[in-house]
Amino acid sequence: MSSTGIALRQVSFEQRSFWRNPASAFFAFLFPIIFLVVFATLFKGQKVQIGSVQTSYDDYYIPALVAFGVMGACFTNIAITLSLRRDNGILKRLRGTPLPPWAFIAGVVGSSIIVSIVLALLTTVFGILVYGVHVPQHVDAAAVTIGVGALAFCALGMAMTIVIPNAEAAPAIVNGVFLPIVFISGTFFPVASTSVLAQIAEWFPVRHFINAMFTAFDPAHQSSSGFNGTDLLIMAAWGAGAVVLSVLRFRWEPRKG
């Protein structure tokens, strides 16, 4: 079979595993939707200040939540799923077949990207229809941002498994790292860029992802292209670092004793 064929089979296997698993479907998929409804309802009609622009809360929140959904579908989902599969020997067994490692990874990443796209579309359409947010100004920039973000956070999810000792610890470690950064990065409510929290968040990729998404959605027509080069580059750099770490240290077998 061709390389593309092998990779596509893996994607389809991962998709079936994802949607049939109530836990992954709930946390990666329904969670962002629930957040959407809760926060959008809570802060309905409020105005927020993003740099020099004033927009409605929902116009800020929807692109931020698109980024949040992508991060959940890629980072959280991959880190937890692969830790579990490593622990119960599924990865080790797979390593003993002729399936090339790159094809396995392609399946995992491809499937996460599909979930990301579905989530992004749903979130955006929901935002437009129910909460009256503006239609994204720069669809091309939004697509590129989602692509870069998804790839970077998939790589970060893989790299995260390196420090996860076993499957039981996985959810606690992953969320313990992810959620605080998500909060200080202003996912649920904007954090002024002059604040200490924002200064800390600047070091991590989450805030840059949200920024880049907001620039692409561009509700106040601030940007000519919708591309935020600096934010995209910083995310890509994090992703590249994670790829290097994963290539060097990713484990297919459970840690002994």
Nearer to other proteins, 1 or 248 (CB): 1
Contact mark string toward other proteins, 236..255, x via CB under 8 A: -----------------x--
Q: Which residue has the tokens 């996985």?
A: 170
The helix-helix angle for 77-87 and 139-163 (nearest 10°) equals 30
Nearer to other proteins, 24 or 55 (CB): 24
Residues 105 and 82: their CA atoms lie apart, in Å, by: 10
Contact mark string toward other proteins, 144..183, x via CB under 8 A: ----------------------------------------
State in angstroms the smallest separation of the CB of 222 from other proteins.
45
3-state secondary structure of 21: coil
Check binding of 45 to other proteins (CB under 8 A). no
Helices (H), 21-76: 22-24, 31-42, 57-71
Nearer to other proteins, 51 or 89 (CB): 89
Residues 1 and 61: their CA atoms lie apart, in Å, by: 44
Terminal Cα distance for the chain, rounded: 39
Nearer to other proteins, 147 or 171 (CB): 171
Contact mark string toward other proteins, 60..99, x via CB under 8 A: -------------------------x--xxx-xx-xxxxx
Residues 146 and 109: their CA atoms lie apart, in Å, by: 13
Check binding of 6 to other proteins (CB under 8 A). yes
Query: Does the CA dihedral 129-130-135-136 come out positive or negative?
Result: negative
Q: Which two tokens stand for residue 90?
A: 């599924």
Contact mark string toward other proteins, 15..44, x via CB under 8 A: -xx--xx-----------------------
Reading phi first (left if > 0) and then psi (alpha if -120 to 50, else beta), residue 186 is in: left
Contact region with other proteins (CB under 8 A), list: 10-18, 124-132, 234-242, 243-251: 10-18
Query: Binding residues for other proteins, how many (CB under 8 A)?
Result: 21
Provide the binding-site residues for other proteins, judged by CB under 8 A: 1, 6, 9, 13, 16-17, 20-21, 85, 88-90, 92-93, 95-100, 253
